[in-house]
Amino acid sequence: MQISTKLFHMSLWWAVIGASIWVGGTVYMMCVIDPQWSNHPPESVRYFFSHTDFNTYIWNFFGPPFMLLRSILPQLLAVVFGWKYVRHRRDLLITFSCTVATIIFTLGYIYPINETLMVRAGGNNTPEIIRAMSDKWILCDRIRFVINLVGFFFLLRAFRRQVVLPGKN
């Protein structure tokens, strides 16, 4: 087996493991953590984000350094090392595109909401604004999850495909 094929397999495994961890962690967040702060805003928002260590520990899982190692880098390497495998190329490009779109959306739209809603526990905003921000955050998070789930589907599809030598795909 060629070194590039081995690197492709390693990056594909790394991408699948990283994406699986993200999916599992996100489902846990949606089912266990999010309801704790989003059920009765603004009281639940103010209490949860000012009386727990959520903002300290959430970065251990979802923070930008881990985002790079868990999703972007292994997917990019899988695209690069797997480019010659035509049967994998489309699936990996869809996966990578979904991940990049999700990260741009997260950094540009969700993180600014996080700053007010989570870091400052709603800040000095009115209860109506905090409720609206909570609803918007939940909606955006679900949209982000669906986009990444589409990417995860295509990643798993690429993962299950047999590697065939170029020209024989």
Contact 118, 141 (CB under 8 A): no
Mean pLDDT estimate for the chain: 91
Question: Most distant CA pair in the chain: distance in Å?
Answer: 63
> Which domain range does residue 98 map to?
3-160
Q: What domain count does the chain have?
A: 1
Residue 13 has pLDDT above 60, yes or no: yes
Please tell me the predicted confidence (pLDDT) of residue 169: 46
State the average pLDDT over residues 112-121.
Answer: 94
Q: Summarize the confidence of residues 95-122 as an average pLDDT.
A: 94
Given a contact cutoff of 8 angstroms between Cβ atoms, the answer to whether 49 and 121 are in contact is yes
Q: What is the pLDDT of residues 27-38, one digit of tens each?
A: 999 999 999 999
| Domain-located, residue 118 | yes
Query: How do residues 149-160 score in pLDDT, each as one tens digit?
Result: 999 999 999 999
Q: What confidence tier does 53 reach under pLDDT thresholds 50, 70, 90? A: very high
Does any domain span residue 166? no
Say whether pLDDT at 66 is over 70. no
In a domain, 168, yes or no: no
